[in-house]
Structure 1
């Protein structure tokens, strides 16, 4: 899940980018509102974290511009202001949630995960389908109650497909939303991950939870239990 982070405090921006990256979120970071607007306009994001007190273009104005551009991804605002009016203004501009500085990184990550789930239509951290149980909070996977060990890349591919179950997801969309910009998009690495997932989740080849639609991409099936 690709995240746009717009924060002008260098140490905080670097810390949050590092913490989110370590948790498997590719991050595009910007130090001001103008660069944040460019990134949010030009690249496919799944969520934005935006500080209200930004240079060049305020956080409120950045949120308004993104919504005017019909960018519908969830937005979490960060603010050092305790005034309820500032929080209301941010929410009315189009934000979905807020955190007041200082905050614990664990709380920010929990809110990010919750916003991503809700945006995909899931209220619970547990997603189930085809006998697979994926816990987005604990980042664990089980098939018919049996734990399955996945690598970080394998888990992120499965999570994205299950969050968008029933939808056709192209290879380009998967790589843009799941991996950093330096990921080798011309390689067959993604196909390798899909192959490994199929062997781990469905070793007997009975359920076939992940479909390949030739020339279109992949789809997590919703027509089987």
Structure 2
């Protein structure tokens, strides 16, 4: 996961860089609006920590620009500004979370972790009316929850389809079980520990005629593969 820190306080910028790097994030930092805009284009971060009071361009202006350039990043505002109007403005412009300074580092890291899980998958599972598989032979119809390949048509239940879309949108990449749960139920846990494995079993059976495989990576998650 890549994190861009946009903060004009050099001390805080260094601290965030140190903490996030320690927890395994790839981090870049910027203290100015224009530099941050360029860095956002080049770095394509998964998460952005964004101050509001910045030189050149303020956080609100950057927020709008970021959403236009690449809307998929998760953005958390970190600011001393704590009034209702500013918070509402930020959320209306598309921020995902708003944390006021001073903040507890452990809590911020937990918020980043939760947002990172959603950012990794959520933007990739937007509902489109029709998508084509990488191989250009699997057609997906979101409205009817059907998959087609030539004369073969498979209809999925609502939960089967949502799980499939998560795996499909990350074809060839292992998706952790907890990441699937985060997209489907947010902060809540799955109805039971067996829910995901059971529905993966159903999906495997239904996808077999389409030559789509779901492999289990023991102790980690699942990976979807499409045969040529």
Pairwise same-fold verdict (TM > 0.5): yes
Which structure carries more relative contact order (alpha carbon 8 Å, separation 6+)? 1
In the other structure, the counterpart of 1:20 is: 20
**Compared with structure 1, are the counterparts of its residues 18 and 165 closer, same or farther at alpha carbon in structure 2 (3 Å cutoff)?**
farther
Alignment partners' CA distance in 2, 1:80 and 1:103 = 10
In the other structure, the counterpart of 1:61 is: 61
Coordinate RMSD, CA, aligned: 2.4
Query: How many residues align structurally?
Result: 138
Q: Is residue 74 of structure 1 aligned with residue 74 of structure 2?
A: yes
Contact 2:167 2:223 in 1 (8 A): yes
- Give the gaps of 5 or more residues in structure 1: 123-163, 171-206, 211-218
Give the C-alpha shift of residue 222 in structure 1: 4.8
TM-score calculated relative to the size of structure 1: 0.56
In the other structure, the counterpart of 1:127 is: none
**Compared with structure 1, are the counterparts of its residues 45 and 169 closer, same or farther at alpha carbon in structure 2 (3 Å cutoff)?**
farther
Note the alpha carbon deviations across 1:84-124, whole angstroms, 9 max, x for none: 111111111121101000001111111001111222458xx
* Rg larger in structure: 2
Alignment partners' CA distance in 2, 1:105 and 1:165 = 32
Residue of 213, 223, 228 corresponding to 1:221? 223
Note the alpha carbon deviations across 1:108-149, whole angstroms, 9 max, x for none: 111001111222458xxxxxxxxxxxxxxxxxxxxxxxxxxx
Q: Is residue 47 of structure 1 aligned with residue 55 of structure 2?
A: no
In the other structure, the counterpart of 2:103 is: 103
In the other structure, the counterpart of 2:4 is: 4
**Compared with structure 1, are the counterparts of its residues 169 and 89 closer, same or farther at alpha carbon in structure 2 (3 Å cutoff)?**
farther
Superposition map of 1:1-225 within 5 A: 1-121=1-121, 165-166=167-168, 167-168=170-171, 209=217, 220-222=222-224
Note the alpha carbon deviations across 1:48-106, whole angstroms, 9 max, x for none: 11001111110000010111123321100011012111111111112110100000111
Contact 2:72 2:119 in 1 (8 A): no
Report runs of 4+ in structure 1 exceeding 3 Å deviation: none
**Compared with structure 1, are the counterparts of its residues 70 and 44 closer, same or farther at alpha carbon in structure 2 (3 Å cutoff)?**
closer
Give the C-alpha shift of residue 32 in structure 1: 1.2
- Give the gaps of 5 or more residues in structure 2: 123-165, 174-214
